[in-house]
Amino acid sequence: MKDRLILYLLVFLLFSCGQKEEKSVSGSLPNIVFIFTDDLGYGDIGCFGASDIATPNIDRIAAEGIKFTSFLSASPVCSPSRAGLLTGRMPQRMGINSVFFPESLTGMDPEEITIAETLKTKGYRTGIVGKWHLGHMEKYLPLNQGFDEYFGIPYSNDMASVVYMRGNDVEEFKVDQRFTTKTYTEESLKFIDSNGDQPFFLYLAHSMPHVPIYASPEFEGTSNRGLYGDVIQEIDWSVGEVLRKLEEKGILENTLIVFSSDNGPWLVMEDHGGSAGPLREGKQYTFEGGVRVPTVAMWKGKIDAGQVYEDLATQMDWFPTFCKLVGSEIPQDREIDGKDLGPVLFENGNREEDSFIYYMLASQEAYREGDWKIKRPYAGFGGSRGMKKVDAHDTLLFNLKNDPGETTNLAKENPEKTAQMMRAMELSVKQLGPLPESKVSRTLQDNSHYEYLEKKRNEKN
């Protein structure tokens, strides 16, 4: 009898220890703060190598948490990348291949399931501050996509009719963009302050450093990289304000914070367009500079400080990661392309899969498997006001571990590897199955009346 009691006691202690260990990772439901920048380059942050821009608060997240050095966006342009982040799905599965405009009558279908919607099933209060860019018609706006609150500019800040919206209504038609970063920060702090004991999800999506760039007067001239650097330093200040607010409320240790970018820098904008650092090309291209983005995350006491993860991870991974973290079900009625990053964040482990299909708009252009990346032949682009000139190239093969800058084409000297990667790419694309047609983001104006008048005047002359 005594032996049996001892055995029961041992089993109870082991079970209790196991329960406590599990709680150390899950515990009470954490707050989640996701800070998303627009067109921020890999070479624009201190902890990713920038020496002419000071980013102590973003660097703090990396130092006290984890830095991802090979983190890929879902797309090298805005709207598709945001759709991929919020749903965990390749944007091509949703027909979101191009960028939405103020004249767009389409957007991300409300039938898609967003991070906000899945968190709400667990009692989260959800708010977005900043750029939405997934459709500005009411049916596509954040309040119909799982968010309780919305304040911000619904599309890019270089588009016509830049307005501040609150909920589904326009609150301000005249936006002074010098103060946009500061305004977003103030709105974010209000959202955090307004929460009691309810867990919250704050999606702070900065409009900057997408052009046109502006910094508030107190940040102008503060960096060593002109106005662009000033803009980044103000964003870093904003990150610091969020961290301070969480500390002030005593909830920093129960908050997972992620900082990232939607795609690479808009290099055609020159000194207003950021830097890809050691990476090749930038926004609008499927070289690493267009899709590999600076990403850091911290959760004090849960994510070990100072981690560096060098293997592949993607923006689509946050959806299943957050689902698993809070205990909500990952949808089974649709393909979810992201993978749970829990083992990476909390166990110093690895992501489940190491492949990625690169798309620019609806064009499938490249494929990665492990350290290897293959790119299809490209006809080249002569350049325009909005898109950088890039020369034509044949099939390209790179080992990204040895050559993250994609400088040395290994295709000719590795014909077997090139063939294997080409087969793997074709198979992966085939396994996607039929994809929907691209959503119509804008249509051409009918200018035949002007053409008529011009022709009529020419005939008179």
Distance CA(52)–CA(217), nearest Å, equals 19
The pair of structure tokens assigned to 24 is: 């150390």
Terminal alpha carbon distance of the chain: 115
CA–CA separation, 338 vs 355, rounded Å? 11
CA atoms within 13 A on the CB side of 82: 30
Which tokens go with 63? Answer: 């130092």
Per-residue buried b or exposed e for 156-175, using 16+ beta carbons within 10 Å of the residue's own CB: bbebeebbbbeeeeeeeeeb
Residue of 78, 136, 272, 323 marked catalytic: 78
Which residues on neighbouring strands pair with residue 201, listed in sequence order? 32, 126
Residue pair 337/88 in contact (Cβ under 8 Å)? The answer is yes
Helix (H, G, I), strand (E, B) or coil at 150: strand
Packing angle of the helix pair 78-87, 318-326 (nearest 10 deg):
20
Q: Which residue has the tokens 């950021």?
A: 274
**Alpha carbon distance 166, 184 (integer Å):** 12
Handedness of CA 370, 376, 377, 382 (dihedral sign): negative
State the Cα–Cα distance between residues 277 and 287, nearest whole angstrom.
Answer: 13
Active site (annotated) includes residue 133: yes
398/392 Cα distance (integer angstroms): 17
Note the residue count of the chain: 461
Is the peptide bond between 212 and the residue preceding it cis, with omega within 30 degrees of 0? yes
Give the residue from 441, 458, 444 showing the smallest Cα distance to 135. Answer: 441
Whose CA is closest to 152, among 224, 210, 81?
210
Q: At 271, list the tokens.
A: 């000194």
Contact in structure between 342 and 321 (CB atoms under 8 Å): yes
Question: Which sign, positive or negative, has the C-alpha torsion 13, 18, 19, 24?
Answer: positive
- What phi and psi values does residue 108 have, to the nearest 5 degrees? -70, 125
Within 13 Å of residue 407, how many CA atoms lie on the same side as its CB?
7
From 47, 133, 136, 210, the catalytic residue: 133
Distance CA 112, CA 135 (A): 13
Burial of 414 (0-12, 13-18, 19+ CB in 10 A): middle
Q: Which residues are catalytic?
A: 78, 133
